[in-house]
Every structure is written in C-alpha cells, then in structure tokens.
Chain A
Amino acid sequence: MRWRVSGSSSSVVPVTDDVLLRARGLTKRFGTFTAVDGIDVEVRKGEAFGFLGPNGAGKSSTMRMIGCVSPVTEGELRILDMDPATDGAAIRARLGVCPQRDILDEDLSVEENLWVYGRFFGLSRSEVHQRADELLQFAQLGERRRDRVEPLSGGMKRRLTIARSLMNNPEVLLLDEPTTGLDPQARHVLWDRLFRLKREGVTLIITTHYMDEAEQLCDRLVVMDHGRIVAEGSPRALIAEHSTREVVELRFDLDDQERHVDAVSGVGERLEVLPDRLLVYVDDGDAALTSLHARGVEPLSSLVRRSTLEDVFLHLTGRTLVD
C-alpha cells in the first residue's frame, strides 16, 4: 500500500495497488448503435475514479455494465475479481449504486426508504435500523427521518439516495452524475460527504460532465467521447499534458469576434473559437494580454484563468462539455 495526496482535497488517502475493476475492450451495443466502443479501464481499491464526458459519451452505459445490470456485449470486465455475467448478484451485494435520478419511494418516509432498501440485501431488521440511524446522521437527515420524501429539497433527496446506496456498506460506490441539478451549496455539502467516504476506504467510481466536479473528486479519470476513451490520467497531469498553464478568455461585441481572429491567432500556443468568446492558450496570461493590446485588439472584456479539464476536453474533441 502506498499513500498519495489526492487532487484538491489534500487529504492523505490510501490508494492500494489492488485492482478492483478491470475492463479490456469493453463494448456495449444496442442494435447497431455502439454506446461503449472497446474501452480499457483499471480502477484500484481506495481510488476515486472518474468518467468525464458530455451527455451521450457512453458513461452511463459503462456504469450500468459495472453495476451488473447491463450485460457486456463484448470484451472483458472483472469486478472484485468476479465476472458480472455469472456472479452479478454476488458483485451487487458489495456495490453501492447511486443513480443519476433520485429514485426514491415518495410515499414512504425518509427512514422507511432506507429500511426497505436494506432488506433487498438480506440485512436483518436490527441491522437495517442500526445502519439507517448511522446513515441518517452521515447524510445530515436525522431531523427529517420521519418526514415523507416528496417535499424534501433536491439536495436532501440526493443525500438520501446516497445514504440508501450505502445501506449495504459497499466497498465500491458508483455515482452517476452525483451533483447534476443541485445548487452550488448543496454540491459542496455532497462533495464533503464523498470525501469522508473516500477517507473510509470506499472506492468511488463517478461519472460527470462537470469538470470542476471531476477536479474536486477524482484521483484519476478518463475522458470519454463517442464511446471511446480519449485521454487518461490525474486531473493535473491531463491539464499539463493537453493544455497550457493559463487561458485568456476574450469577449467581443456581437459581430466583432470574426474580425479579431487573425490578430489574436499569432499570440499563444493555441486558439479556440467559441460562439461567444475566444480562448487563447498561453503560459503567461498577463503577458499575452499586453501583446494583444500592442496589436490593437480591444475586447469588451478579458479574463485570465488557469486551465481546467474543460480546456482539455475542448482540445481533445473540439467541443465543449456542457452545451
């Protein structure tokens, strides 16, 4: 076992060399449509691993195969050293699955939702109650435990869904778009809960189309596009490899942008033309602004920022993550 400092959480997290999930040439087809096109992935125990990509990239199909609810069309997949095709139930007994939508029983109370779900895993009545008590605290829902689910806020429902996915004390937690649709504060609360889980040694496998989420949560990630993996590494390594240190964002008046492309293109390593702005990839943003000014480029507004995974994605695919 070795210790590594994970991305931006800067907590010391044990990541082992034990391979928990291995996919080789993993493929999923629906009729003639190929959703996942021969991907190779390895996830180690204790790691927070991410699938980053836009909607339709094949992340959810991959997650459903990992969750053993969607048969593998082709290729090899082993989870916890078992084969989903033959040991699906035994694997699922050790997985937690937090789906993209909060699929809760809205007629039931918060705690009843946890109890009935725990029974699906064959937990005894007393185990279910005790476990629910712990998780209600963990999810900060103790005061709402007897309330019906329906009127809860989006953030609360999400935390309840995550609490429910932890009822069986999973060794691996699959999170499909965990914070989509939540407000910023609720997202941070949720990220905090996920860091705690990671510190407990739970392996996290996350899909997201938010680069900030991937940077926050993931030790390592793959970027997916059209069912394939286009890059792999830690968030920092990916940025270092596929982008520059800084980015200058330039916004012009509505029809002005076209006119300035030529003048801007000589500056920096690379230029991306988006519908509403120009992105100039440089190592030193302020110096670039000065030289742009010298060339007579006067944008309505300009912004110097660090490169993010969004820039990596843009570079690799020519498209933005969130339309």
Chain B
Amino acid sequence: MSAPATDRLAVTAPASGRLDTGPRPGLSQAERLGAVMGHHLVVYRRTWKGSIINRFLSPLFFLLSMGLGLGTLVDDGAGGVDGVPYLQFVVPGIIAVQAMWLSFGESTYAVFGYIRWNQMYAAMLSSPLRVTEVLGGHLAVVGVHLVVATTIFVGVASLFGAFASWWVLLTIPVGLLTGLAFAVPTFALSATLDNDNGFSLLYRFVVTPLMLFSGTFFPVEQLPAALRPIAWGTPLWHGVELSRDAATGTPPGWLGVGHLGVLLLYIGAGWVLAHRQFSRRLVS
C-alpha cells in the first residue's frame, strides 16, 4: 500500500486516436468481433487443460468401445448396418454427438456465468461493443472450438480406418453446423434462466436421450414408430445423417438439403431468441 505512486498517466503509446480527448474513431465490425473473440481465447489459454477429457477423450472412448468393441459383434452377427461396417456407421454419429456435447459445454454454465457470476458481458457492453458483437464473438469462438475438435477427431478416427471416402472432410463443416444448432438456442436459454438448476435437467433429459436415440448408434428406423418424429425434430439426427453421408461419400440429394435447412433454422431462430434475451438481460 505504501509503494510510491507515480502521478499517472501520461498517454504515451502510439496513437489509435482512441485515447484522445474528444470524439474518438469508431471500431470496425472486424475489430469489435476480434476484441470479443480475443478475450475468450485468452481465457481459454488459461483454462484449456480442464476441458481436455470431456472434449477429446470421451469421443475417443466411444470410438473404441462402440466402433471397435461393439462393432465386431455387429459386423459378425449382422454384417454391419445395411452393409456398412459398424465402425464406419458409428463414427460419423460420434462426430455429431461430440459437436453437441461441446456446444452444451460451452453455452450453458459459461454463458450463465458471464451474465450472472462474473458479469463479463456487462463489462464488454460498457465499452463501445454492442450485444450483436458480444453474442456473435462468443458464438464465433464456440465455432472455432467446434472446428478444431471435429478436425482432431476426424484425424484420429481415420487412423482406425473409420472412413471410406475423402468426402469425410465435409464432416468438419457439418460438425460446426450441428454444434451451432445446439449452441445458439442454448445461449438463448442460458440468458433466460434465473438459476443454474435447469442445466442438470437439460443434461439428464435432453443431452443423454438425444445422444442415444438420434440414429447415432443405430438407425432411427429401429426405434418404435412413435418415437421417430422426436428424433426428426431435433438437430442431432439431421447432423448425424449429414455427417454419415459425408463420411461415406453418399451424394446428399433433397433429403440432405432438408437436413441442412433444419440445422440452419435452429441456428437462425436461436440467434433471434438469443439476441432478444441478451438484450433483455444486459441492456434493459
């Protein structure tokens, strides 16, 4: 406390003009998004170790246990799924599931905490940044995580011979879109909840059932007819189907366009809701 204090604050740095007295040059959209993304990436540089197990090892465990372990039984007993070896059937599903997991991981407690606990969004909004960039920048970072995680998983799975076609590279954008179809609406939800109890319900009653019943480990045609429409309504099944088409090099056709449309619909509607909820919570 007794350390001598210099009398501040000569502004000596080279000029952006944004430290001057009087009107200051505005920020471009790229600068705004870059500032928000920069913040999240600096934080991630400090916290990434804790995310490794969930993010990279869980998908790998599923690949080993389902793809290789269970897969041997399926291939021996039933000749794969519709003639496709089980490993090649299940791995594209795991890609989509991994995207869903990652998105929930990045858009539940993380978003809620930024609103309620450390109020980082409020800090951002007291600068020239606006809700659009605060929301868009955070989602863009989730997108970066999705691309990196999907790419790594595709690379690892290919070592096990999980893919039949180079079109598998298209699973990377599919993973991105599938993830965002969960992340964007979940941002809206996280900005709406008054406490974080809802999240454990979300994991228990949404994430896990979706993972099990969206055509990931077996075709949805195996489900009782009454349950199938539920799979059709959620983003995961559409992501799984797109991912599977890409990984097996199947031309998508109109059905593929439909899958893509559903994912984009979730993202678009989610954005409108998230923007509205962020505005209500943060700048009302």
Contacts and interface: CB of A to CB of B under 8 A. Distances in A.
Interface of A: 30, 67, 69-71, 88-90, 92-95, 97, 99, 101, 103-108, 112, 115-117, 119-124, 126-131, 134-135, 137-138, 140, 142-143, 164, 166, 168-169, 171, 185, 189, 193, 196-197, 200
B14 interface: yes
Interface in B100-127: 118-120, 122-127
Contacts of B197: none
Given A120-B124, A121-B127, A166-B9, 9 more contacts: A88-B130, A93-B18, A95-B126, A103-B118, A105-B39, A119-B34, A119-B35, A131-B11, A140-B5
A116 B120 CA distance: 11
B283 A116 contact: no
Interface residues of B, number: 48
Contacts of A120: 35-36, 39, 123-124, 127-129
Contacts of B31: 122
B282 A122 contact: no
- Most chain A beta carbons < 10 A, residue from B1, B3, B120, B128: B128
B13 interface: yes
B23 interface: yes
B18 A116 contact: no
Contacts of B8: 134-135, 137-138, 196-197, 200
Contacts of B38: 116, 119
B27 interface: yes
B226 interface: no
A67 B13 CA distance: 26
Nearest to B8: A138
Contact of B42 (A108, A140, A185): A108
Contacts of B26: 89-90, 93
B46 interface: yes
Interface string B191-204: 00000000000000
A69 B16 contact: no
A119 B10 CA distance: 19
21 contacts: A30-B284, A69-B122, A70-B284, A71-B284, A92-B127, A105-B39, A106-B118, A107-B46, A119-B39, A120-B36, A120-B129, A122-B25, A122-B32, A127-B18, A129-B13, A131-B11, A134-B9, A140-B5, A143-B3, A164-B123, A166-B9
> Which one of A99, A119, A171 has the greatest number of beta carbons of chain B within 10 Å?
A119
Interface of B: 1, 3, 5-14, 16, 18-21, 23-27, 31-32, 34-36, 38-39, 42-43, 46-47, 118-120, 122-130, 282-284
Contact of B12 (A128, A130, A164): A130
Nearest to A134: B9
A103 B127 CA distance: 14
Q: Most chain-B CB neighbours within 10 Å: which of A69, A164, A166, A185?
A: A69
A171 B19 CA distance: 10
Contacts of B43: 105, 107-108
A65 B169 CA distance: 49
A300 B122 CA distance: 50
A137 B12 CA distance: 15
A255 to B, nearest CB: 45
A228 B127 CA distance: 28
Contacts of B128: 89-90, 92-93, 120-122
A171 B120 contact: no
B45 to A, nearest CB: 9
A144 B284 CA distance: 36
Given A107-B43, A137-B5, A89 B119 contact: no
B4 to A, nearest CB: 9
B3 A126 contact: no
Contacts of B282: 69
A171 B122 contact: no
B265 to A, nearest CB: 31
A2 to B, nearest CB: 20
Contacts of B35: 119-120, 122
A183 to B, nearest CB: 11
A77 B7 CA distance: 34
B126 A67 contact: yes
A122 B14 contact: no
B38 to A, nearest CB: 5
Contact of A117 (B14, B20, B127, B284): B127
B19 to A, nearest CB: 4
A306 B239 CA distance: 74
A70 B9 CA distance: 30
Nearest to B28: A122
Contacts of A90: 23-24, 26, 128
Closest 4 CB pairs of A and B: A120-B127, A127-B13, A130-B13, A97-B126
Contacts of A137: 5-6, 8
Which of A104, A117, A122, A171 has the largest number of chain B CB atoms within 10 A? A122
B127 A126 contact: no
Contact of B7 (A119, A126, A196): A196
B39 A116 contact: yes
B9 A200 contact: yes
